[in-house]
Chain A
Amino acid sequence: MDLQEVETRITRFIDGYVEKAACKGVILGLSGGIDSCTVAALSAKAVGGSKVLGLMLPESETYNIEDIRHAQAIVKKFKLKSQLCDITSTLKSFYESIPAFEPSEKVPKGNIKARTRMIYLYYYANRLDLLVCGSSDKSETMMGYFTKWGDVAADISPIMDLYKTQVRRLARCIGISEEIIKKPPSPALWPGQLAETELGVGYETLDLILYGLEHFMTVKEIAEQLKVGEELVSKIKLKWLSAEHKRRMLLTTKLAYRTVGADFRLKRG
């Protein structure tokens, strides 16, 4: 992969979309992780740091000073605008106002966090006429490792066609620090959550398996080439296939002549 060309294509994509949408710039959730830092840097390169707002959205349970420090370093290096909003009290209000709320169930509770971050991002986007720029990468998107209507909600997702290992190489190329690149990824939905632990495989292996699936290789071929068990490849394949409902939204049942989400094939506005 020619990283220089990838950078050019992504920055041209962001710049072109902002211009076409006639918006004033982009906003993104800046967690301090590799994906959001990379998208922040690419956005700054595309439209200029003054047109990029990095929103830092920490909360008490997953608060990590290192992440804030990394996010601030990116703001400084790429001359972005930034805003810090502590969402702890909002989350607390959610938890207290839901009669069925169960604090011990990590996933539903964690998803509230991802969706709350989305609400803040879209509030700022609406208020300041900005586009929401998503930071989802291809590995997590293929695996369905994201919150529906949460972290994946965005107007554009510039690095969604790059596997995590490719994002790491691109990040290095555009000047993201090694400290950020080497930090273990986490969606920060609960304390101590680590992406690779939850996915059950390291990104180096995962990405090669996903690459094989992308290229229509069979489970057996992938397992043989990578010298991994067929069960692991099958498990990943199943996760990939069963998460399609999270990637293709607006499903209805066909009742009429042309149907939203099915056979209206219109250009994006």
Chain B
Amino acid sequence: MKQTLRIALAQISCKQGEKAANLRRIEEEVMKAKKLSADLVVFPELSLTGYVVRDQIYELAETIPGPSTGALEDLARKTRMHIVFGMPELSEKTQATIYNTAVLMGPKGFIGKYRKMHLPTHSVFEEKRYFRPGYQVAAFNTELGKIGLIICYDLFFPEISRLTRLAGSQLIICISASPGVRRAFFETLTSARAIENTAFLAYVNLVGVEDGLQFWGGSRLIGPQGKVLVRAKYDEEDLVTCDLAYADIRAVETFVPTLKDLRPELFDELKKSAEQL
């Protein structure tokens, strides 16, 4: 397993409902990231389709494996890169049950996927109308270390990144489609999730305007001490890279040992209280 790696944050805008165009865009960015010697390149939430596609989701969703994951597996093999992107995933057992999914590919093909657990259905969001929530956290052993995947609104629920970290992830990847009015929340929460879990957190947000929603970008890699190690531009497409060394976690884990100090009995209490809210 590599102890250091170079991550590329591919902050793109997407063409709503145009998978072929978005796949081309993803391929371009992967090639650019490859030239920058990145090991891993991360794209935003639902980067295959764009975020606001509403009822078109039913025709855009694909199974995994499917044509789009096939194309990106080939790309990952060809470039020997790791790629994370987002897509609407059609359940293989039904015809219209869809998940909001993050997919991880590697040089040997498909590695794993994560189905978003917290689906925002308030304000301008209508995800529960279209998606079924996932039920499992995701942490995958890769050549680049153990990588966890979470999606956007999951950041507001510390238990998701906590479980991902407890499953062994030292790098948590959060793909996102966050509109501008929520920027302050995400800028705070990305650092908080990194600090409380003593892990690297890579956050990649969408940019562009979809049906009046302006996605703010600002993608970033946060170190385990909560420091922003690299940040992409606000509101514009950007590709930034940053090196990370897992050894940096050790010093933070001794300085603020949040994992050592976890109190499991509190989680039982949390469950009981949450049920009685």
Residues of A bordering B, CB below 8 Å: 216, 218, 241, 251-259, 261-263
B55 neighbours in A (Cβ, 8 Å): 216
**A251-B213 Cα distance, complex, nearest whole Å:** 10
- B124 close to chain A: CB less than 8 A: yes
A253 neighbours in B (Cβ, 8 Å): 209, 212-214
A187 to chain B, nearest CB (A): 27
- By the criterion CB–CB under 8 Å, are B181 and A255 in contact? yes
- By the criterion CB–CB under 8 Å, are A216 and B59 in contact? yes
- B246 close to chain A: CB less than 8 A: no
A261 neighbours in B (Cβ, 8 Å): 212
**A216-B212 Cα distance, complex, nearest whole Å:** 25
Q: How large is the interface on B (under 10, 10 to 19, 20 to 34, 35 or more residues)?
A: 10 to 19
Q: Which of A252, A253, A254, A262 has the most B CB atoms < 10 Å from its CB?
A: A254
Q: Which residue of B lies closest to A237 (CB)?
A: B59
Secondary structure at the B interface, as helix, strand, loop or mixed, is mixed
- By the criterion CB–CB under 8 Å, are B59 and A254 in contact? no
B88 to chain A, nearest CB (A): 14
- By the criterion CB–CB under 8 Å, are A216 and B123 in contact? no
- By the criterion CB–CB under 8 Å, are A256 and B181 in contact? yes
- By the criterion CB–CB under 8 Å, are A252 and B56 in contact? no
**A241-B60 Cα distance, complex, nearest whole Å:** 14
With contact pairs A216-B96, A254-B124, A254-B181 given, residues A262 and B58 touching in the complex (Cβ less than 8 Å) = no
For window 34-80 of B, CB contacts with A under 8 Å fall at: 55-56, 58-59
A257 neighbours in B (Cβ, 8 Å): 181
* A-B contacts, 16 listed (Cβ < 8 Å): A216-B55, A216-B59, A218-B59, A241-B56, A252-B212, A253-B209, A253-B213, A254-B179, A254-B180, A254-B181, A254-B213, A257-B181, A261-B212, A262-B212, A263-B123, A263-B124
- B211 close to chain A: CB less than 8 A: yes
With contact pairs A262-B124, A263-B124 given, residues A254 and B214 touching in the complex (Cβ less than 8 Å) = yes
A218 neighbours in B (Cβ, 8 Å): 59
A39 to chain B, nearest CB (A): 27
**A22-B82 Cα distance, complex, nearest whole Å:** 64
A212 to chain B, nearest CB (A): 12
Interface string of B122-137 (1 = CB under 8 A from A): 1110000000000000
18 new A-B contacts, CB < 8 A, other than A253-B214, A259-B124, are A216-B55, A216-B58, A216-B59, A218-B59, A251-B211, A253-B213, A254-B124, A254-B179, A254-B181, A254-B214, A257-B181, A259-B212, A261-B212, A262-B124, A262-B212, A263-B122, A263-B123, A263-B124
A262 neighbours in B (Cβ, 8 Å): 124, 212
A216 neighbours in B (Cβ, 8 Å): 55, 58-59, 96
A255 neighbours in B (Cβ, 8 Å): 180-181
A198 to chain B, nearest CB (A): 26
**A255-B209 Cα distance, complex, nearest whole Å:** 12
Q: Which of B56, B123, B213 has the most A CB atoms < 10 Å from its CB?
A: B123
**A101-B181 Cα distance, complex, nearest whole Å:** 42
A200 to chain B, nearest CB (A): 23
A263 neighbours in B (Cβ, 8 Å): 122-124
Q: Which of B56, B58, B212 has the most A CB atoms < 10 Å from its CB?
A: B212
Interface string of B93-118 (1 = CB under 8 A from A): 00010000000000000000000000
A185 to chain B, nearest CB (A): 27
Q: Which residue of A lies closest to B123 (CB)?
A: A263
**A241-B122 Cα distance, complex, nearest whole Å:** 25
**A241-B18 Cα distance, complex, nearest whole Å:** 13
- By the criterion CB–CB under 8 Å, are B212 and A251 in contact? yes
**A256-B181 Cα distance, complex, nearest whole Å:** 6
Q: Which of A251, A257, A259 has the most B CB atoms < 10 Å from its CB?
A: A259
**A218-B61 Cα distance, complex, nearest whole Å:** 13
Q: Which residue of B lies closest to A250 (CB)?
A: B212
B179 neighbours in A (Cβ, 8 Å): 254
B127 to chain A, nearest CB (A): 13
A264 to chain B, nearest CB (A): 10
B182 to chain A, nearest CB (A): 10
Query: Which listed residue, A254, A256, A258, touches B212 by the CB 8 Å rule?
Result: A254
A71 to chain B, nearest CB (A): 37
B214 neighbours in A (Cβ, 8 Å): 253-254
**A261-B212 Cα distance, complex, nearest whole Å:** 10
Q: Which residue of B lies closest to A255 (CB)?
A: B181
Q: Which residue of A lies closest to B122 (CB)?
A: A263
B59 neighbours in A (Cβ, 8 Å): 216, 218
**A252-B181 Cα distance, complex, nearest whole Å:** 14
Q: Which residue of B lies closest to A257 (CB)?
A: B181
